[in-house]
Amino acid sequence: MRILFMGTPDLAAKVLVPLSKAYDVVGVFTRPDAVRGRGKALVASPVKSAALELGLDVRTPETLKGADAAAIVDELAPDVICVVAYGAILPKSILEKPRYGCLNVHTSLLPRWRGAAPIQRAILAGDETTGVSIMKMEEGLDTGPFCAQQTVPVDKNSLEELEGLLASAGASLLIDSIAKLEDGSVSWREQPSEGVTYAEKIQKAEMKLEPTATASQNAARVRASSAAHPARTVIAGKTLTVISLAQADDEVALQSCRGLKSGQAVYSGKRLFLMASDLPLEVLQVKPDGKKSMDAKAFASGLQGIKGKTFAWGIA
């Protein structure tokens, strides 16, 4: 079974590695090198880096439309194309080339959360569970039939943690699905028309922490955050990124926050609390603008005049 793999982020790289050990990956398509983070240098995608370490043939076409990409696919002659968060739409001319079609590892329980940001949307929506689907690709946006699904609990996992769980589940399902394609035992199920939701791209403004939001909503924004879409706020006049926080529901926390109003904060017992619209939050780790990440105690120790007082926090 000859496989052409298409993917770009770390999630896809975590699927590529076990897939390459199970099957003959004859080529890898990934997005071109791009400027990532603060530096101006071009950086390879996680999939490109992983593929090169595995000794695989890596291609970085600017587009899949037109004759060039189609010619590469013809050259590689894959039996199936496997796609994991590639970052570009596959045209009909590519979809129709492999004899077994194109399989997509989609990180949701379709038809819920079709689209670009299914993991983040599941966290932000407060879903108790999400999962992964192996879908046969067609021209519509994640509308194809699926042959396998696996449920994964969201719990209190961060985006990175949940991605890891979904990548592991997705790799196993993909390897099993390819085996069933090969022996003819695969069974496809059409997506139900009920329960369709769309996972639109995350906007930076969505990740801002707000005193008028609930504690659970603010906590979800932090868990769904990433370097590209950080959870931002202002505490005592200092603008920062919140890396980690938790709902503060223990007795000591509740006592320390007694009488606090939404938008007020307090540093008590070497713990930093923010009052949301309903319940307090405890800040655990932050990154103030222009500084390295630090724990809440280190951040609070640098604030002047807060000892024994309440102070403000709000939207960045």
Residue 38: what pLDDT?
Answer: 66
Residues 6+ apart with CB under 8 A from 58: 27, 28, 30, 48, 51, 52
pLDDT digits (tens, 9 = 90+) for 104-159: 999 999 999 999 999 999 999 999 999 999 999 998 899 999 999 999 999 999 99
Q: In 3D, which of 78, 181, 81 has the Cα closest to residue 138? A: 81
CB atoms within 10 A of CB 96: 11
Is residue 20 a contact partner of residue 53, using CB atoms and an 8 Å limit? no
To the question of pTM greater than 0.85 for the whole model, the response is yes
Residue 283: what pLDDT?
Answer: 98
Is 3.30.70.270 the CATH classification of the domain at 2-199?
A: no
CB atoms within 10 A of CB 255: 10
Residue 304: what pLDDT?
Answer: 85
Burial category of 72 from C-beta neighbours within 10 Å (exposed 0-12, middle 13-18, buried 19 and up): middle
Residue 248: what pLDDT?
Answer: 93
Q: Two tokens at 279?
A: 């319940």
Residue 37: what pLDDT?
Answer: 66
Domain limits, the chain: 2-199, 204-314
CATH classification for the domain delimited by 204-314, as one of 3.40.109.10, 3.10.20.30, 3.20.20.70, 3.10.25.10: 3.10.25.10
| Amino acid found at 207 | M
| Residues with pLDDT less than 50, the chain | none
Q: Two tokens at 299?
A: 């951040």
Residue 223: what pLDDT?
Answer: 98
Residue 39: what pLDDT?
Answer: 65
